[in-house]
């Protein structure tokens, strides 16, 4: 455990606190509507299954298609974010996924619906990495975990809104309306992003020392790759994200269907019951960031050690709930899961920004997204659907604590490298675009 000795840093993007909070609000709302759009599907699966005779595995593929496409586009889009403009990339991609989501309401076959959801994935590839890069620029280092925790709270809020409104709209108007209605607010926020302040593109420079002399040269692809490979704390953070997001995504997608099948609930009520679980993350996510920043004043590696502890607690709650209980007692443990599950994200996302060159921040979170989407978001619904087809959903859920344990282990290992990686980062002053 490293002592929290002072670390020299340049102050980042110079804007007023009020303006920083305004931009944060836009980022938060866009993240919120993104998850509303993404998780509305979880309340629509029984309707799609009935209309087109789908298996649970096919439903899992449909739930994963957005993140599968995002996986393919996250790197080129993150390069666009880092090397061109964060605000323009976020705005353009937000408009794209808004229109694509609305067009899902007009599809007339499962193949058409899969095709249109693919374009939603293209649009959603930009703003998460860009959003974290902008937060890192707008707020000082000592507040990043707190702000990232608040930002992450958009996930449970969006999830809750999505699963509730998806079930309600599908029950009253039909499942097609759920896509069309929920695309509108995201489009409005995306358009507003064209007018926010952005900071200049940061040159990715490395210093070469030759005896007493040194010179600066622009980093090329292999230099950038080495930069990440020589930063084990961020690599272990990526793996920690995989373990945790595998668990949360699987339950986000399949828990409403579980209550629909086991308890015979209509989907609007099943969505409401699921939403309560994930709404607790509104408290858990920012609290995790706040606790992490407080502990970090004494131990710098708190941004990895705290996620290790919370990942372990999350797995324990799921193991007890699904292995030994059912009904209301099981639901109590799921409530506790909903509180601790998002606590890892604030510290983890801060690590992706702390230990890399400022010109690589969007790329760093894009790498986190890549691992999350390829191995967590995408595989989890398919994995649970396949086991459910062979056995049942409860059996599939019993595998999830193992992924929490994996997340805890890799965060713990990475914590031993964090302070060293933090101290080697070059400090760069960011300037407003156009100045």
- pTM comes to 0.74
Burial class, 195, CB count within 10 angstroms (exposed 0-12 / middle 13-18 / buried 19+): exposed
Q: Could you tell me the sign of the dihedral formed by the alpha carbons of 218, 221, 222, 224, in that order?
A: positive
Closest CA to 281 of 244, 308, 316, 319: 244
Instruction: Tell me which range, 65-74, 93-102, 396-405, is most confidently predicted by mean pLDDT.
Output: 396-405
Provide the percentage of residues in the chain whose pLDDT is more than 70: 86
Residue 160 pLDDT exceeds 80: yes
Q: How many CA atoms lie within 13 A of 140 on its CB side?
A: 9
Least confident of 126-140, 149-163, 377-391: 126-140
Q: DSSP characters for 203-247?
A: P-EEEEEETTEEEEEE--HHHHHHHHHT-HHHHHHHHHHHHHHHH
Give me the phi and psi of 205, to 5 degrees please: -110, 140
Q: Residues 91-108: what's their mean pLDDT?
A: 86
The CA distances from residue 341 to 134, 243, 282, 401, in Å, are: 25, 11, 11, 11
Domains of the chain with bracketed CATH: 17-423 (1.20.1250.20)
Residue with tokens 């993404």: 38
| pLDDT value for 227 | 75
Query: Over the Cα atoms of the chain, what is R_g?
Result: 21
pLDDT band at 153 (very low <50, low <70, confident <90, very high): confident
| pLDDT value for 8 | 36
Better pLDDT: 202 or 416: 416
pLDDT per position as a tens digit, 264-286: 888 888 888 998 998 887 788 88
The string over 25-44, giving b where at least 16 C-beta atoms fall within 10 Å of a residue's C-beta and e elsewhere, is ebbbbbbbbbbbbbbbbbbb
| pLDDT value for 256 | 92
| pLDDT value for 253 | 92
Tell me which DSSP letter residue 96 carries: H
pLDDT per position as a tens digit, 294-340: 999 898 899 999 999 999 999 999 999 999 999 999 999 999 999 99
Longest Cα–Cα distance of the chain, Å, equals 75
pLDDT per position as a tens digit, 205-254: 554 444 444 445 455 656 677 778 889 999 999 999 999 999 999 998 99
pLDDT band at 412 (very low <50, low <70, confident <90, very high): very high
pLDDT band at 362 (very low <50, low <70, confident <90, very high): low
Q: Where are the alpha helices (DSSP H) in 263-342?
A: 267-279, 281-296, 302-324, 327-340
Residue 102 pLDDT exceeds 50: yes
Residue 182 pLDDT exceeds 80: no
| pLDDT value for 230 | 86
Give me the phi and psi of 430, to 5 degrees please: -95, 140
pLDDT per position as a tens digit, 9-56: 434 555 678 888 898 999 999 889 888 888 888 888 888 888 888 899
pLDDT per position as a tens digit, 49-97: 888 888 999 999 988 888 888 887 877 776 666 667 777 878 888 888 8
Cα separation, 96 vs 398, in Å, equals 38
Q: Where are the alpha helices (DSSP H) in 139-219?
A: 144-152, 154-172, 175-192
């Amino acid at each position: 455990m490293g002592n929290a000795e002072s670390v020299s840093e340049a102050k980042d993007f110079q804007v007023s606190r009020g303006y920083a909070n305004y931009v944060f609000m836009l980022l938060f709302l866009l993240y919120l509507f993104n998850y509303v759009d993404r998780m509305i599907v979880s309340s629509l699966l029984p309707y799609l299954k009935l209309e087109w005779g789908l298996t649970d595995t096919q439903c899992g593929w449909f739930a994963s298609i957005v993140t599968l496409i995002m996986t393919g586009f996250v790197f080129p889009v993150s390069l666009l974010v880092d090397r061109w403009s964060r605000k323009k990339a976020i705005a353009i991609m937000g408009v794209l996924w808004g229109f694509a989501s609305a067009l899902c309401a007009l599809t007339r076959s499962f193949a058409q619906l899969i095709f249109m959801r693919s374009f939603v994935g293209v649009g959603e590839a930009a703003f998460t990495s860009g959003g974290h890069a902008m937060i890192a620029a707008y707020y000082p280092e000592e507040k990043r975990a707190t702000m990232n925790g608040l930002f992450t709270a958009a996930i449970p809020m969006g999830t809750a809104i999505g699963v509730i409104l998806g079930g309600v709209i599908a029950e009253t108007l039909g499942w097609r309306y759920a896509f069309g209605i929920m695309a509108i607010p995201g489009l409005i926020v995306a358009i507003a992003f064209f007018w926010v302040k952005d900071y200049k593109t940061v040159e990715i420079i490395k210093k070469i020392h030759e005896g007493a002399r040194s010179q600066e040269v622009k980093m090329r692809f292999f230099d950038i790759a080495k930069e990440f490979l020589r930063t084990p704390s961020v690599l272990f953070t990526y793996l920690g994200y995989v373990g945790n997001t595998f668990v949360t995504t699987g339950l986000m997608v399949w828990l409403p269907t579980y209550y629909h099948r086991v308890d015979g609930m209509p989907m609007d009520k099943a969505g409401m019951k699921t939403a309560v679980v994930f709404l607790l993350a509104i408290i858990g996510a920012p609290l995790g960031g706040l606790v992490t920043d407080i502990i970090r004043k004494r131990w710098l590696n708190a941004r990895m050690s705290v996620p290790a502890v919370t990942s372990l607690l999350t797995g324990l709650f799921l193991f007890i709930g699904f292995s030994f209980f059912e009904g209301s007692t099981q639901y109590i443990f799921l409530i506790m899961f909903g509180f601790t599950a998002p606590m890892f994200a604030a510290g983890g996302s801060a690590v992706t920004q702390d230990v890399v060159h400022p010109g690589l921040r969007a790329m760093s979170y894009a790498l986190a997204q890549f691992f999350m989407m390829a191995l967590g978001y995408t595989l989890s619904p398919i994995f649970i659907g396949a086991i459910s087809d062979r056995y049942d959903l409860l059996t599939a859920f019993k595998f999830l604590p193992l992924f929490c344990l994996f997340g805890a282990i890799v965060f713990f290992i990475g914590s031993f490298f964090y302070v060293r990686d933090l101290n080697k980062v070059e400090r760069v002053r960011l300037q407003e675009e156009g100045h």
